[in-house]
């Protein structure tokens, strides 16, 4: 019997060339002024409709703090204005982890884009560290994991320390960890971007106004987003540039200009915690100074230790709670000595001698907040990363989740632009990523009080037990590999077909197992067969193809996908390779030496293409991958999954 799960998936996921539609709905624009607050300063968000467009401006009524200076166009000099038309389809604002992930993805999908950042220089040693499993897998699928692994510090063990009965601290628990600590994420991603596409981050540039052309917003070929950019020259003078793009993506961090310009608030707690961060070269007799630690003392608060490459140790100390309403926090008042002294007090009676600070101290405020919308104007303007969610660093997720937002979004924009899929696929971005952001905030809410609270020696055991429980239950989520996206136009939860591959869950990334290339016996991990290059993939688990009948079914399946009028053929532009939109891979489970490549139909194994047919069998040097067991597929029987 032939099972049709994969075929149904293909039907739903792909649109035939004849049935593409833009999928854009009607736009609704706020036409009256909306009064809101921004860091305590009243502001008016005015949406001024004109015949065909709506111009959005932020008018700040009071003097702004540090973060919002960028909104003001200096009035002392009259800037030159450069009008740029044509050019890029996508403008990415912000070159942090999220913006750079998006840029790297779009570059691999041949999308024309620009990426700008208001900072004149790249962050030398990035803010966040701790790349989780799934993020590492994605980087591997981009093909530059080696650069990361060369400099990464594996964070193999997490240690939880709490107060001891003698009033000091003691290690209460150790658990395994899989993250890798890397400081230079932004640098590596920028270099990789340049290598792959020749595109560099354009610096000292920020957007100052946004205008949306409502009349053309439904036209997939139009560029309805008009953005005015302000460039700062090295001599301090400025000039403006007007550009038009199809999509604007706000990857501009927690104080996102794009989000605020759209009038999207951040909803959540009104208070924020203030963290002091310092990277050091230090000497300490604290036994876990090279492990990822959370240290809670009864008298002096909480410390996080992250060992970094080349012997660097990063300390995170929660300094105090901060109320944005009162806005009393002066970041410059916190010195590195204060942060180090706080760390030293927490570690007592262990010693801490700091020989060198690597990047000086940073103080950052963070609250648990979520934007009620991740996009606007029919998904023409979207938010990614800290721009739409923020939380404490205690679960080490900010960078990872921000990058995975961009990974989720990148291919959808690319395929919408190249017409492979209807633009309504962009609705799945918020649907899928909002749930992850909510789960993350939930986890953060559970962990944050357990870490921040002052605990007495009597409560230490109970507190560590609770912390351990939360860490353990959140481990798979934190690694990123446990993420499951719910049913949508992309994911069908086909419960009556799940028995065919019990461990392949729709909406979740497929596990990687070793298989062998039928042609040359080379072992591959399944993920290596699926680089992030913007193609869809169908994997046929063909079973035992020694049976003539089974091979006939494979033959029919090959024609159904790649035959003259096949599903894949129909969605592939005639001038392109047949596997340029959808690649069909076959993994069979017969003994490799009892099957020949030539027995497979040319629809699945085209001439000169030796990397389409694989087998789950014993390798010469690396054992058996047991991929079928890993996928939960029956070893015997006649099914094809």
Task: Give the active site residues.
Answer: 129, 308, 316, 393
User: Which is closer to ligand FAD, CB of 108 or CB of 114?
Assistant: 114
- Find, among 477, 405, 531, 393, the residue nearest to 100 by Cα: 405
> Is residue 381 part of the contact set for ligand FAD (CB under 6 A)?
no
Q: What's the rounded Cα separation, in Å, for the pair 561 and 606?
A: 13
Query: Could you say whether residue 612 binds ligand FAD (CB under 6 A)?
Result: no
| Structure tokens given for 473 | 């239950």
Neighbours of 35 (CB within 10 A): 10
DSSP letter assigned to residue 137: H
Of the candidates 5, 113, 257, 407, which one interacts with ligand FAD according to CB under 6 A? 257
Q: Does 252 bind ligand FAD (CB under 6 A)?
A: yes
Of 162, 324, 385, 558, the one binding ligand FAD by CB under 6 A? 385
Rounded to the nearest angstrom, the gap between the alpha carbon of residue 447 and the centroid of all alpha carbons in its chain is 22
Least separation in angstroms between residue 388's CB and ligand FAD is 9
Q: Token digits for 427? A: 């609705």
Report which DSSP code applies to 519: T
Pick 397 or 590: Cβ nearer ligand FAD: 397
393 binds ligand FAD (CB under 6 A): yes
> Contacts from 4-8 at CB under 8 Å and sequence distance 24+?
5/494, 5/497, 5/500, 5/641, 6/538, 6/539, 6/540, 6/641, 7/557, 7/560, 7/567, 8/492, 8/494
Please, where are the H alpha helices in 311-426? 336-347, 398-417
364 or 610: CB nearest ligand FAD: 364
Provide the minimum distance between the beta carbon of 313 and ligand FAD in the complex, in angstroms, as a whole number: 13
Q: Which residue of 46, 68, 98, 415 would you call a contact of ligand FAD, by CB under 6 A?
A: 98
Q: Under DSSP, is residue 295 helix (H, G, I), strand (E, B) or coil? A: strand
- Does the protein bind ligand FAD through residue 140 (CB under 6 A)? no
Spatial separation of the C-alpha atoms in residues 430 and 387, rounded to whole Å: 13
What is the nearest approach in angstroms of ligand FAD to the Cβ of residue 207? Answer: 6
Which member of 5, 46, 96, 280 binds ligand FAD (CB under 6 A)?
96
- Comparing CB distances to ligand FAD, the nearer of 137 and 444 is 444
64 belongs to the binding site for ligand FAD (CB under 6 A): no
Closer residue to ligand FAD (CB): 115 or 554 = 115
- Tell me: does residue 116 bind ligand FAD (CB under 6 A): yes
Q: Give the residue among 72, 485, 31 at the shortest CA–CA distance from 214.
A: 31
276 binds ligand FAD per the rule CB under 6 A: no
Q: Which is nearer to ligand FAD, 68 or 297 (CB)?
A: 68
Q: Beta-strand (E) ranges in 252-300?
A: 267-268, 272-284, 292-297
| Shortest separation between residue 118's beta carbon and ligand FAD, angstroms | 4
Per CB under 6 A, the segment of 96-104, 290-298, 480-488, 532-540 that binds ligand FAD is 96-104
Site for ligand FAD in 351-380 (CB under 6 A): 362, 364
Longest dimension (CA), the chain: 82
Cβ distance 188 to 147 under 8 Å? Answer: yes
Q: Are 464 and 172 in contact (CB under 8 A)?
A: yes
Using CA atoms, how far apart are residues 624 and 637, in angstroms rounded to an integer?
Answer: 21
The answer to the question of residue 200 lying near ligand FAD (CB under 6 A) is: no
The torsion region of residue 379 among left (phi > 0), alpha (psi -120 to 50) and beta comes to left
Residues 111, 277, 329, 554: which binds ligand FAD (CB under 6 A)?
277
Number of neighbouring beta carbons within 10 Å of residue 153 = 21
By CB under 6 A, tell whether 160 contacts ligand FAD: no
Total count of residues recorded for the chain? 641
Tell me the CA end-to-end span of the chain in Å, nearest whole number: 11
Residue closest to 259 by CA, chosen among 118, 501, 123, 94: 94
Stretch that binds ligand FAD, among 76-84, 93-101, 192-200, 344-352 (CB under 6 A): 93-101
Q: State yes or no: residue 128 binds ligand FAD (CB under 6 A).
A: yes
Asked if 555 touches ligand FAD (CB under 6 A), the answer is: no
Site string for ligand FAD, 395-434 (x = CB under 6 A): -xxxx--x--------------------------------
For ligand FAD, give the closer residue by CB, 127 or 380: 127
Binding range to ligand FAD, per CB under 6 A, among 52-60, 137-145, 159-167, 251-259: 251-259
Cβ proximity to ligand FAD: between 185 and 560 the closer is 185
For ligand FAD, the closer CB: 257 or 286: 257
DSSP state letters, 400-443: HHHHHHHHHHHHHHHHHHTTSS-GGGGHHHHHHHHHHHHHHHHH
- Whole-angstrom Cα Rg for the chain: 27
129: contact with ligand FAD by CB under 6 A: yes
Identify the H or E element spanning 260: helix 257-261
**Candidate ranges 83-91, 127-135, 545-553, 580-588; the one touching ligand FAD (CB under 6 A):** 127-135
Q: How far apart are CA 150 and CA 92, in angstroms?
A: 29
Residues of 112-151 as b/e, b for ≥16 C-beta within 10 angstroms? bbbbbbbeeebbebbbbbbbbbbbbbbbbbbebbebbeeb
Question: Which of 22, 27, 41, 70 contacts ligand FAD by CB under 6 A?
Answer: 70
Q: Which is nearer to ligand FAD, 314 or 509 (CB)?
A: 314
Residues 315-334 as x/- pattern, contact with ligand FAD by CB under 6 A: --------------------
Q: Is 253 in the site for ligand FAD (CB under 6 A)?
A: yes
Footprint on this chain of ligand FAD (rule: CB under 6 A)? 70, 93-99, 116-119, 127-130, 206-207, 251-253, 257, 277, 362, 364, 385-387, 393, 396-399, 402
């Amino acid at each position: 019997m032939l099972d049709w799960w994969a075929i149904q998936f293909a039907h739903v996921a792909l649109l035939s060339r004849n049935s593409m539609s833009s999928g854009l709905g009607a736009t609704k624009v706020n036409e009256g002024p909306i009064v809101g607050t921004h860091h305590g300063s009243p502001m008016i968000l005015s949406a001024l409709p004109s015949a065909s467009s709506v111009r959005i401006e932020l008018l700040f009524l009071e003097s702004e703090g540090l973060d919002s200076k960028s909104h003001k166009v200096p009035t002392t000099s009259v800037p030159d204005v450069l009008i740029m038309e044509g050019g890029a389809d996508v403008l990415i604002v912000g070159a942090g982890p999220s913006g750079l992930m998006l840029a790297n993805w779009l570059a691999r999908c041949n999308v024309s884009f620009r990426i700008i950042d208001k900072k004149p220089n790249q962050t030398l040693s990035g803010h966040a560290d701790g790349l989780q499993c799934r993020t590492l897998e994605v980087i591997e699928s981009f093909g530059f994991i080696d650069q990361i692994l060369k400099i990464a510090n594996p964070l193999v063990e997490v240690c939880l320390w709490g107060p001891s009965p003698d009033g000091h601290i003691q290690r209460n628990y150790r658990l395994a960890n899989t993250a890798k600590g890397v400081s230079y994420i932004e640098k590596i991603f920028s270099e990789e971007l340049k290598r792959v596409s020749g595109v560099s981050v354009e610096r000292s540039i920020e957007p100052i106004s946004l205008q949306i052309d409502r009349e053309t917003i439904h036209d997939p070929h139009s560029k309805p987003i008009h953005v005015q950019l302000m460039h700062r020259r090295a001599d301090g003078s400025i000039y403006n540039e007007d550009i038009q793009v199809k999509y604007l993506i706000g990857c501009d961090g927690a104080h996102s200009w794009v989000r605020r310009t759209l009038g999207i608030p951040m909803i959540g707690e009104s208070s924020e915690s203030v963290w002091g961060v310092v990277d050091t070269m230090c000497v300490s007799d604290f036994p876990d100074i090279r492990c990822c630690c959370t240290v809670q003392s009864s008298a002096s608060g909480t410390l996080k230790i992250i060992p970094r490459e080349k012997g660097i140790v990063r300390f995170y100390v929660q300094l105090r709670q901060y109320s944005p309403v009162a806005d009393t926090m002066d970041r410059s008042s916190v010195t590195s000595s204060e942060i180090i002294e706080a760390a030293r007090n927490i570690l007592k009676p262990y010693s801490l001698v700091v020989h060198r600070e690597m990047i000086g101290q940073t103080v950052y405020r963070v609250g648990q907040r979520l934007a009620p919308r991740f996009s606007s104007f029919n998904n023409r303007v979207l938010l990614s990363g800290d721009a739409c969610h923020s939380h404490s660093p205690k679960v080490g997720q900010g960078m990872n989740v921000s990058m995975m937002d961009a990974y989720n979004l990148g291919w959808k924009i690319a395929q919408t632009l190249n017409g492979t899929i209807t633009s309504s696929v962009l609705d799945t971005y918020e649907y899928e990523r909002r749930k992850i952001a909510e789960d993350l905030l939930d986890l953060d809410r559970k962990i944050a009080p357990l870490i921040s609270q002052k605990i007495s020696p009597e409560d230490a055991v109970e507190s560590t037990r609770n912390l351990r429980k939360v860490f353990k239950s959140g481990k798979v989520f934190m690694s990123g590999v446990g993420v499951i996206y719910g049913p949508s136009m992309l994911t069908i939860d086909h419960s009556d077909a799940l028995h065919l591959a019990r461990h392949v869950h729709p909406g979740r990334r497929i596990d990687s197992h070793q298989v062998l290339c039928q042609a040359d016996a080379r072992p591959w991990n399944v993920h290596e067969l699926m680089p992030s290059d913007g193609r869809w993939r169908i994997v046929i688990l063909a079973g035992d193809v020694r049976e003539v009948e089974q091979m006939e079914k494979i033959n029919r399946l090959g024609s159904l996908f790649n035959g003259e009028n096949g599903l894949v053929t129909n969605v592939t532009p005639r001038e392109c390779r047949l596997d340029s939109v959808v690649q069909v891979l076959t993994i069979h489970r017969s003994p490799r030496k009892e099957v020949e490549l030539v027995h497979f139909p040319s629809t699945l194994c085209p001439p000169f293409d030796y990397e389409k047919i694989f087998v789950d069998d014993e390798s010469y040097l690396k054992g058996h991958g047991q991929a079928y067991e890993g996928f939960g597929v029956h070893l015997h029987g006649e099914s094809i999954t």
